[in-house]
Structure 1
């Protein structure tokens, strides 16, 4: 893996924050409230437009119930992250649309595991048809 520019790392970290926040069912406003900042600032962090200070990143990780390291890309192939860049790209594409954001927010809230699996099968079948 080559050297990453600051902007690509900022975007990666922001995307990981966005995915984790969405998986927990938190809105940008809710995360912002926990951090004592505006939701617009959370948006800027999640898109990589603004860099996040170390202390703020530590606080974000705490609120999201994860480690700071889990928000970063792997370095030189060590400590490989469980998510591949392709998966992260697809997740970012999903959140780029309002429909995708609805799915990302609502899906983890389906408590019945069988129903979640059924929804996933329906979405996969529809994607194959498209």
Structure 2
């Protein structure tokens, strides 16, 4: 007997996790921010993003609201980063002096860093450089 697919089985859990992580990063939220908003642990957010745990429809609805994206975006296959609607939106709102290729490379490298402390350090360094640049102008 063939089982019917639920919404979260339409694509692999890991792909849903990738979409959640991408949308979270684009919204500039940490896993902790998202965990607090969803009323789950940081570890649970990590499991969702790694595709280790299925996410309930109720949580998908909450995520959709928090991340300001339709549920369908979380349940569709990931597009190449430069074609993703959230990335395109971010590019349009970014400064024009930064080439798109650099932005793509930064996102690609950043999302491959597994160590949360290392990611936080990089973010803090970038903020310091940004603030230093502002002051020197």
TM-score range relative to shorter protein: 0.5 to 0.7
Q: TM-score scaled by structure 2?
A: 0.55
* RMSD of equivalent CA atoms: 3.7
Counterparts of 2:119 and 2:20 in 1: how far apart (Å)? 14
Instruction: Report the equivalent of 2:80.
Output: 84
Q: Specify which structure has the bigger relative contact order, considering alpha-carbon pairs within 8 angstroms and separated by 6 or more residues.
A: 1
Structure 1: stretches of 5+ with no match in the other structure: 1-5, 75-80, 116-130
Q: Which of 41, 46, 51 is 1:43 aligned to?
A: 46
Instruction: Report the equivalent of 1:95.
Output: 111
Asked if 1 retains the 8 angstrom alpha-carbon contact of 2:10 and 2:75, the reply is no
Structure 2: stretches of 5+ with no match in the other structure: 1-8, 85-104
Q: TM-score scaled by structure 1?
A: 0.58
Instruction: Report the equivalent of 2:30.
Output: 27
Q: Which of 17, 20, 29 is 1:17 aligned to?
A: 20
Q: Which structure has the greater CA radius of gyration? A: 2
